[in-house]
Amino acid sequence: MSVSRRDLLKKTLVGSAAAALPLDAFKFLSPEQAKAALAESPHRWGFLVDTTKCVGCGFCVKACKKENDVPYDEPITRTWVERYVITNDGEALVDSPHGGRDGFTEKKVMEHDVDPESIAKAFFVPKLCNQCKSPACVQVCPVGATYQTPDGVVLIDRSWCIGCGYCVMACPYGVRFFHPVHKVAEKCTFCYHRISKGLKTACVDNCSFGARQLCDLKDHNDPYTKVIMTQRVAVLKDEYGTKPQVFYIGLDKEVR
Amino acid sequence: MKTHVLRPLILAIVLVSCHLLFRHFYVPDDFGVNGKNFTFGFYRAGSIDDWKAIPVKYKGKELCAECHEEQYESNMASKHSIIQCENCHGPAMDHAETEEPLTIDKSRGLCLRCHAALPYPGSQRSELPAIDPEEHNVGMECAECHNPHKPSLEDM
Amino acid sequence: MTEQLVVHGLEWTEKLHFVYPNEFIYWSIQIVMYPYMTGLVAGAFVLSSLYHVFGQKDLKDIAKFSLVFSLALLPVAMMPLQFHLQQPIRGIHVMMTPHFTSAIAAFGIVFSTYAIIVLTEIWFVYRQYFVEQTLALKGVKGAGFRRLIYNILTLGAYDLSEEAIAADKKGVKIFAAIGIPVACFLHGYAGFIFGSVKANALWMSPLMPVIFIMSAVVSGIALCMLTYIIIMEGKKLAASLKKGKSDESVKVIAGVEMDVIKKTSRYLIGFLIAAITLELLDMIFRGYTQMKSWDILREVMWEEDFTKIFIMQYGLGNLLPFLLLMIGKPGIKRTGIALALILFGVFMMRWNVVIGGQAFSLSFHGFMHYHMPIIPHNLETYKEGLFGALTVGATPFILFYIINKFVPSLKTSN
């Protein structure tokens, strides 16, 4: 009896091992899966930032942090607003206190007094994840914990991320950080839980001036897709070849 | 040929087999190339649903209008119509169901986000009505004089 | 007790001028330790292979030692990564779902392949010894456990015929040969991890993997030599205490030691020159081509990190030991100092690459400074602080002590 049971166990083990081996060894390259993956999504989410409209109120940052449970008082944020003050002699003063969460209410830039007479131009630039077409962060993830969804948003699998930080290093835009609660990489998701329900992102909804707009780049009737198609827009750091999908109006050479 | 030299190889094969067997049971079934290619689309398909399942917190002005019609109407007639209720009242979350009161931010700092004067040529900021916070009624809350829903003093 | 929120990097990062809000020194001391330790592994292995493959007879004595030492270093190449991960338990995911477009994904495969090669080579080198020990310890009282270990280590292959021993020797040669490219790959790809990060102006360079391999071999050889010196000095001291300073055995040990060191340092100097040449080439090229990032890189090199790069790395870590080894006839003491300086220099090189690469903001507007946590006050400041690094640094020596109990590697041939 005991012998036959051991035999049975042995056979089951060997059998399942044999069954598991050949399939599993190449699981990640299975052609069926690759084919299924080609099923196209009707959307390709993009974003339009009009820096000429931004007043630096920072309500977008506040809304983002609350909507997405990013610890409010910690110095990390999915989106932020930068202030650029360019003086007459070409010097650029830049700051983003608390990522612009409480807006810009001080005339001082980084503790420096700025003489109003010496300001040649000044403006605000909202930043967020560029949801790149060729995301460097995804390419370098060693475990497949960050990925691009079929509708073009780069997400992180919080249950699979090992927290190595390679994606954080690989992003040229500095949008990634470690979530202090989940202890995994974290970044802007274009409020995936909102846009997948037909809503706009929290930052777009809470911008009073229309400086931020979500758009569907596959929908040529989308008013903001039209702007991107018909007007002169720029992207950040295109030299890295990441093909950002957040487009800007009114960028300046000092904005990096 | 002495066959004993193959023993480390056999050991290695056994170890690799154990690893692959463990992997078979450990890795979720929906893990694989689910996106456009291996480089950008190698992930656990269920992860997308995890993200979709997150509850929405900011519900938008139209939801507020359903119950607070009066405030909504007066606000929509003013210059502050472009501001979301939740910017000051905080995210609605499930307020519509539970009627749990929201914490309103009436602080001076909140108004200063837009109305602290910044002398910025070429920026929309300098076109907003603005005050110098160090001179304009220091120490007072803006709401003592201005109605946040329709802030112009002439309208009051 | 509510859990304290820890923003990774906040503790040890100091920001100067404008830096993006999310930028911190995310890769800290453990990521400095990681290429340093893998470098030592690779270097130690290459040194042993010089004898086994290329028949450099002058390296015979140090070859066995460096092979076993590279085994002791092996688990330590993985340790810093485990210490660094925010989710250390999930570290196995690298083996579960490797995403091969990432340089780190190769780690699991390359590392295990390399481990198998080193273990196999050691098995071929020591199989005869294992069998002999198993036989010798048969029936010896109190040696049951020891015998069991040796018995397992033989893998059941007790054949000691001339033919079988010859097959072992052939096996050693084959695995030492396969091992060289794999060791270089193991370390070269550690360089690739950095060199391929296009977002980082300092790291991105196709020379990075080659520079890493060269400096790896340098540090590996230097560490093997230094450990060898320390062990031989210990033996010498023991012999002179036992038999008196002028005893013949003391002189024999000293003679063997000097001989090995003199021969090995020739290889060391060769690799050192190659490493420095490549590093300087990289720097000159950046200065000459003056790409967008050069302004900020120059500020980091010449102002923010000048002491660390030019004084500590190139001056103390490269130039000084080079002179010490080249001028006149260096004795054991002087060689020992030079070796320690070289090890320090390679460490500083890793530091200046890893930490230096994060010393400036991606916005090119500001800088970040790293303050290594000394006294730990939570798990994070231990893991990514001085004591975490010391733990990693001490482990190979403890492991070597244990391994050497079963696989003696310090017996000199006559």
DSSP-assigned letters across all residues of chain A = -HHHHHHHHHHHHHHHHHHHHHHHHTGGG-HHHHHHHTPPPS--EEEEEETTT-----HHHHHHHHHTT--TTSS--SSEEEEEEEETTS-EEEE-GGGGTT----S-BTTB---GGGEEEEEEEEE-----SS-HHHHH-SSS-EEE-TTS-EEE-TTT-----HHHHH-TT---EE-TTT-SEE---S-HHHHTTTPPPHHHHT-SSS-EEEEETT-TTSHHHHHHHHS--B-S-GGG-----EEEES--TT--
Interface test with A, best of C3, C11, C14, C20 (most A CBs within 10 A): C20
What is the model's pLDDT at position A22?
Answer: 45
Calpha distance A202→A190 (Å, rounded)? 9
CA angle, corner A250, sides to A249 and A256, nearest 5? 100
d(CA B86, CA C3): 29
* pLDDT category of residue A95 using cuts at 50, 70 and 90: very high
Q: How far is CA A161 from the centre of its chain?
A: 16
Of chain B residues 115-154, which have a CB less than 8 A from chain A? Answer: 116, 118-125, 128, 133
Judged by CB atoms closer than 8 Å, whether chains meet at B125 and A55 is answered as: yes
Residues 6+ apart with CB under 8 A from B108: B133, B140, B141, B142
* Interchain proximity A144–B83, CB inside 8 Å: no
> What is the CA angle C155-C161-C164, rounded to 5?
55
Q: Do C102 and A139 touch (CB under 8 A)?
A: yes
A190 and A131 Cβ atoms separated by less than 8 Å: yes
Radius of gyration of chain B (CA): 30
The per-residue pLDDT of chain A, averaged, comes to: 88
Query: Is there a domain that residue B139 lies in?
Result: yes
Digit-coded pLDDT (tens) for C327-363: 888 888 999 999 999 999 999 999 999 999 999 999 9
A1 pLDDT band (50/70/90 cuts)? very low
Confidence category of residue C183, pLDDT binned at 50, 70, 90:
confident
Element (H, E) at C63: helix C60-84
Partners of chain C (3+ Cβ pairs below 8 A): A, B
At residue A8, the pLDDT reads: 52
pLDDT reading at A199 higher than 90: yes
Which chains sit next to B, with 3 or more Cβ pairs under 8 A? Answer: A, C
Assess if residue B60 is contained within a domain: no
* B43 to chain C, closest Cα gap in Å: 9
**Residue C138 burial by Cβ neighbours in a 10 Å radius (0-12, 13-18, 19+):** exposed
Instruction: Please give the pLDDT value at position C413.
Output: 47
Is the pLDDT higher at A81 or at B1? A81
Closest-CA distance of chain A to residue C257, Å: 43
Determine whether the interchain pair A74/C7 forms a contact, defined as Cβ–Cβ distance below 8 Å: yes
Which of C120, C158, C161, C182 to mutate: most B Cβ within 10 Å? C120
Contact between C48 and C225 under an 8 Å Cβ cutoff? The reply is: no
| pLDDT the model gives residue B156 | 57
Nearest to A163 among C22, C24, C85 (CB): C85
Q: Which range is least confidently modeled, B17-26, B105-114, C178-187?
A: C178-187
Overall fold of domain A136-186: Alpha-Beta Plaits (3.30.70)
Question: Looking at the complex, does the CB of residue C89 fall below 8 Å from at least one CB of chain B?
Answer: no
| Cβ-based neighbour number of residue A76 at 10 Å | 23
Query: What pairs with residue A185 in β-bridges?
Result: A178
Q: Which of C30, C76, C37 is nearest to C219 (CA)?
A: C37
Q: Where are the domains of chain C?
A: 29-196+379-407, 223-370
CA-based nearest distance A120→chain C, Å? 19
Pick the CATH number of A45-131+189-249 from 3.30.70.20, 3.40.640.10, 3.50.50.60, 3.40.50.10310: 3.30.70.20
| % of chain C at pLDDT higher than 70 | 98
B2 and C120 in contact by Cβ < 8 A?
no
Residue C387 CA to residue C375 CA, distance in Å, equals 8
In contact, C275 and C73? CB cutoff 8 Å: no
- Extract the tokens encoding B35: 């996106």
- CB-CB under 8 Å, B23 with C167: no
- Distance (Å, rounded) from C-alpha B73 to C-alpha C148? 87
Q: Helix, strand, or coil here: B15?
A: helix
Q: Do C119 and B8 touch (CB under 8 A)?
A: yes
* DSSP-derived 3-state class of residue B102: coil
Please give the residue range of the domain that contains residue B139. Answer: 106-151
**Mean pLDDT of all residues belonging to chain B:** 91
Closest C-chain CA to A110: C17
Q: Report whether pLDDT(B59) > 70.
A: yes
User: Rounded distance, CA A114 to CA C334, Å?
Assistant: 58
Domain chopping of chain A, boundaries: 45-131+189-249, 136-186
**Substitution target from A157, A177, A239, A252 for chain C, most C beta carbons within 10 A:** A177
Is the pLDDT reported for residue C276 higher than 50? yes
| B41 membership: H or E segment, kind and range | none
A45-131+189-249 and A136-186 in the same fold: yes
CA-wise closest residue to A44 among A161, A215, A212, A244: A215
Token pair listed for A26: 């190449």
Which residue on chain C is closest to B4 by alpha carbon? Answer: C157
Contact status, residue C85 vs residue A164, Cβ threshold 8 Å: yes
The Cα–Cα gap between C216 and C209 comes to 10
The Cα–Cα gap between C185 and A213 comes to 47
Contacts of A139 in chain B (CB under 8 A): 39-40
The percentage of chain B sitting over the pLDDT mark of 70, rounded to a whole number, equals 97
Cα gap C384→A165, rounded to integer Å: 14
C-alpha C88/C-alpha C290 separation (Å) is 40
What is the arrangement of strands in the sheet containing A45-50, beginning at the earlier edge strand? Answer: A212-216, A45-50, A246-249
Q: With contacts defined as CB-CB under 8 Å, which chain C residues touch B11?
A: 155
Length of chain B: 156
Q: What radius of gyration do chain C's Cα atoms show?
A: 23
How much is the average pLDDT of C285-309? 92
- Binning pLDDT at 50, 70 and 90, where does residue C77 land? confident
What would you measure as the largest C-alpha separation in chain A, in angstroms? 97
Flag whether pLDDT at B1 surpasses 60: no
Q: Judge whether B127 lies within some domain.
A: yes
Per-residue pLDDT reduced to its tens digit, A13-28: 555 554 444 444 444 5
Of B4, B26, B31, the CB nearest to C164: B4
List phi, psi (to 5°) of A82.
Answer: -105, 145
What pLDDT, on the 0 to 100 scale, is given for residue A2?
A: 44
Q: What is the mean pLDDT of chain C?
A: 88
CA dihedral A200, A203, A206, A212 (to 10 degrees): -80
Chain C nearest C-alpha distance from B87 (Å):
22
Let me know: does C45 contact C178? Beta carbons within 8 Å.
no
Residue A32 pLDDT > 70, yes or no?
no
CA A209 to each of CA A56, A60, A197: distance values in angstroms, whole numbers, following the listed order: 10, 11, 24
Q: Do the chains contact at B5 and C95, CB–CB below 8 Å?
A: no
A 54-83 → B contacts, CB under 8 A: 54-59, 62-63, 66-67
pLDDT at position C414, please? Answer: 39
User: According to the model, what pLDDT value does residue B95 have?
Assistant: 93
Instruction: Quickly state the pLDDT bin for C412 (edges 50, 70, 90).
Output: low
C142 pLDDT tier (thresholds 50, 70, 90)? confident
Q: Which of C123, C155, C163 sits opposite B2 (nearest CB)?
A: C163
Give me the pLDDT at residue C391, please.
94
Give the residue on A whose Cα is nearest the Cα of C291.
Answer: A239
The C-alpha atoms of residue B8 and residue C197 are separated, in whole angstroms, by: 37
Q: Tokens 């300046």 map to which residue?
A: A252
Angle at A59 between CA A54 and CA A65, to 5 degrees: 125
Question: B120 and A121 in contact by Cβ < 8 A?
Answer: yes
Cα C261 from Cα C272, distance rounded (Å):
16
| SS3 (DSSP) at B32 | strand
Smallest Cβ distance to A169: which of C86, C199, C364? Answer: C199
| In chain B, residues 38-97 whose CB comes closer than 8 Å to chain A | 38-44, 47-48, 50-58, 60, 82-84, 86-87, 90-91
How does strand A80-87 pair with strand A119-127? antiparallel
Say how far apart CA A86 and CA C128 lie, in whole Å. Answer: 76
The pLDDT of residue A21 is: 47
Q: What's the pLDDT score for residue B5?
A: 86
For residue B120, being part of any structural domain is answered with yes
Amino acid at A201: T
* A56 contacts B116? CB cut-off 8 A: no
Are the Cβ atoms of B5 and C116 closer than 8 angstroms?
A: no
Say what angle helices C248-289 and C29-52 make with each other, to 10 degrees: 120
Q: What is the mean pLDDT of residues A34-59?
A: 85
pLDDT 10s digits, C154-176: 888 888 889 999 999 898 989 98
Specify the range with the lowest mean pLDDT, choosing from A42-51, C228-237, C264-273.
Answer: C228-237
User: Does residue B110 lie within any of the structural domains?
Assistant: yes
Within 29-88 of C, beta carbons closer than 8 Å to A belong to 81, 84-87
Q: What average pLDDT score do residues A52-61 get?
A: 96
pLDDT above 80 for B33: yes
Percent of chain A surpassing pLDDT 70: 85
CB atoms within 10 A of CB C313: 25
In contact, A205 and A218? CB cutoff 8 Å:
no
pLDDT, one tens digit per residue, over C89-112 is: 999 999 999 999 998 888 888 888
Q: What gap in Å lies between CA A164 and CA C86, rounded to an integer?
A: 7
**Count of helix runs (H) and strand runs (E) in chain B:** 7, 2
- Sequence-distant (≥ 6) Cβ neighbours of residue B23 within 8 angstroms: A24, C95, C96
Strand-pairing partners, residue A125, are A82
